[in-house]
Amino acid sequence: MKVLDRAPLLALLAVTSCGIPATGVVEAGAPASGALPLTQVYFVENGRLVAVPRNTGRPGDPTDALRLLMDGPLAGERAVDGRGGLTTEVPALPTALALPSPATDEPGSPLTDTSGAAGNSASDTPTATVAGNTMTIRLPPGMAGLSELGVRQLVCTATAAYRLTRPSTPSPAAEVTGGGDTVRVPDARCPAR
């Protein structure tokens, strides 16, 4: 037998005898980590809402998503001289106000507390609570009188975060309260990604 005739046979022997046992799926610990989950935050582009993915350490937490919204578009995403890019109809929090601390999914937290009392004072942080089929978004002072688009930004961002870990749950109706005003939003008409 010539060497060239034996090459396929030698290759087959090398592959089949590499020492790897023929077993089924072998569990090897926890899944890979390192990348944070993404949540959709809604900004404005050319007068309409657009969903922008943001890293979140708290998937499914509407209050954390609202904090990301309050941070506004990133520097490279912002409109320049009124042209192109993303804007927001939701004013940033004054720097003297504390940013919301992450909610926990424990009794008394903004995410699960149905009594209306949030973990932090509602006067210094935006919070989102869900009771039954209604999500209530409470805004800090100075944010009353938002435009319709601003209200939709808040509702769409909080709803997207809520549904992130509850995909089969219907979207709750929303109420946005702050400064004595309450706006009810039965359907926020949130655009898909």
Kindly write down the DSSP assignment for every residue of 53-121, as one continuous string: EEE-SSTT-HHHHHHHHHT-S-GGGB-BTTBSSBB-SSPPPPTTSPPPPPP-SSTTSTTT--SS--SS-
Query: Hunting for tokens 């359907």 — which residue is that?
Result: 187
pLDDT at 104 over 50: no
Residues above pLDDT 70, as percent of the chain: 64
According to the model, what pLDDT value does residue 94 have? 59
Q: What share of the chain is helix, strand, coil (3-state, %, to 5)?
A: 20, 20, 55
pLDDT at 30 over 60: no
Identify which has the larger pLDDT, 81 or 109: 81
DSSP 57: S
Cα(65)–Cα(63) distance, integer angstroms:
5
Q: Which of 81, 76, 90, 84 is nearest to 43 (CA)?
A: 90
Task: Give the predicted TM-score (pTM) of the model.
Answer: 0.67
According to the model, what pLDDT value does residue 96 have? 46
According to the model, what pLDDT value does residue 100 have? 47
According to the model, what pLDDT value does residue 109 have? 35
